[in-house]
């Protein structure tokens, strides 16, 4: 009898402990974009100082949580709870543009407004889309950011103007989408990297001859 009582008590304790055990809380993930390094010009196409302003964005796109949408419900957008950009998209794309144009040696100096210097040219940008588009997958996979298939979609508007008289020198809208190698958010970010590289490369090519 004692053995049976002890066994029942042990089983009860096991069930109680199992009920009290909580699942592991998903850890936060942080991502950054890097469009790569362009080839440098032999001489600046924009002699002087080029200032890159912080990119603008609205709604979910302006915030750090990674945005996603479903391919079969393109008019809806959502944000992940555990997947974030390292910094706000507006600041991140500004920083990447500064690095990109400096590496290209497109101007004698490439700066941000923080330096409060007199610029000869100004680049402004607006982020229209920066998101993962998901297709298929189970409900659990979607919650975890791992679905049937995915792609990265980027759309940005870029403007180059002459500072002294606000003359518009170039205006372009760059939209690229790239299939991800897998269904995870990290793989979609890698696809967005390629989209950003294409957008910045196209912009650079188009302003080579702008004066």
Mean pLDDT in residue range 102-120: 96
Could you tell me which residues come within 8 angstroms of residue 64 by beta carbon, excluding any fewer than 6 positions away?
84, 85, 87, 88, 89
Would residue 19 count as lying in a domain?
no
Would residue 3 count as lying in a domain?
no
- Name the residue range of residue 160's domain: 28-207
Would residue 4 count as lying in a domain?
no
Q: Give CA–CA dist 103/40, Å, rounded.
A: 6
Number of separate domains in the chain: 1
Give the model confidence (pLDDT) of 183-203 as tens digits.
899 999 999 999 999 999 999
Q: Give CA–CA dist 210/131, Å, rounded.
A: 31
Q: Is 48 left (phi over 0), alpha (psi -120 to 50) or beta?
A: left
20: Cα within 13 Å, side-chain hemisphere? 6
Would residue 7 count as lying in a domain?
no
Mean pLDDT in residue range 159-178: 97
Would residue 8 count as lying in a domain?
no
Q: What are phi and psi of 165, to 5 degrees?
A: -135, 10
Give the model confidence (pLDDT) of 26-83 as tens digits.
899 999 999 999 999 999 999 999 999 999 999 999 999 999 999 998 899 999 999 9
Task: Give the pLDDT band (50/70/90) at residue 19.
Answer: very low
Indicate which CATH number applies to the domain containing 180: 3.40.50.10610
Would residue 109 count as lying in a domain?
yes
Q: DSSP letters along 152-182, please?
A: EEEEEEEEEEETTTTEEEEEEEEEEEEE-SS
Residue 6 or residue 75, greater confidence: 75
76: Cα within 13 Å, side-chain hemisphere? 6
pTM, full prediction:
0.83
Would residue 56 count as lying in a domain?
yes
Give the model confidence (pLDDT) of 135-163 as tens digits.
876 666 655 555 578 999 999 999 999 99
Asked whether the beta carbons of 158 and 123 are under 8 A apart, the reply is yes
Mean pLDDT in residue range 118-145: 84
Would residue 176 count as lying in a domain?
yes
pLDDT over threshold 80, residue 14: no
Q: Give CA–CA dist 84/97, Å, rounded.
A: 20
Q: Evaluate the CA torsion angle 75, 77, 174, 56 in order and state its sign.
A: positive
């Amino acid at each position: 009898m004692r053995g049976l009582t002890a066994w029942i008590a042990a089983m009860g304790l096991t069930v109680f402990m199992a009920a009290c055990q909580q699942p592991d809380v998903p850890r936060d993930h942080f991502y950054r974009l890097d469009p790569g390094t362009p080839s440098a010009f032999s001489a600046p196409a924009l002699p002087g100082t080029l200032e890159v302003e912080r990119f603008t964005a609205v709604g979910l796109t302006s915030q750090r949580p990674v945005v996603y949408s479903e391919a079969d419900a393109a008019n809806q957008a959502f944000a992940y709870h555990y997947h974030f950009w390292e910094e706000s998209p507006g600041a991140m794309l500004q920083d990447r543009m500064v690095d990109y144009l400096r590496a290209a040696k497109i101007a004698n100096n490439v700066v941000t407004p923080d330096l409060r210097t007199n610029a000869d040219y100004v680049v402004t940008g607006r982020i229209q889309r920066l998101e993962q588009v998901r297709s298929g997958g189970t409900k659990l996979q979607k919650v975890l950011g791992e679905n049937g298939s995915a792609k990265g979609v980027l759309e940005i508007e870029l403007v180059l103007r002459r500072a002294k008289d606000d003359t518009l020198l170039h205006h372009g809208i760059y939209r690229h989408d790239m299939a991800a190698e897998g269904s995870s958010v990290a793989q979609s970010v890698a696809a967005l990297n390629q989209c950003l590289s294409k957008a910045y490369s196209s912009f650079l090519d188009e302003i080579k001859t702008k004066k």
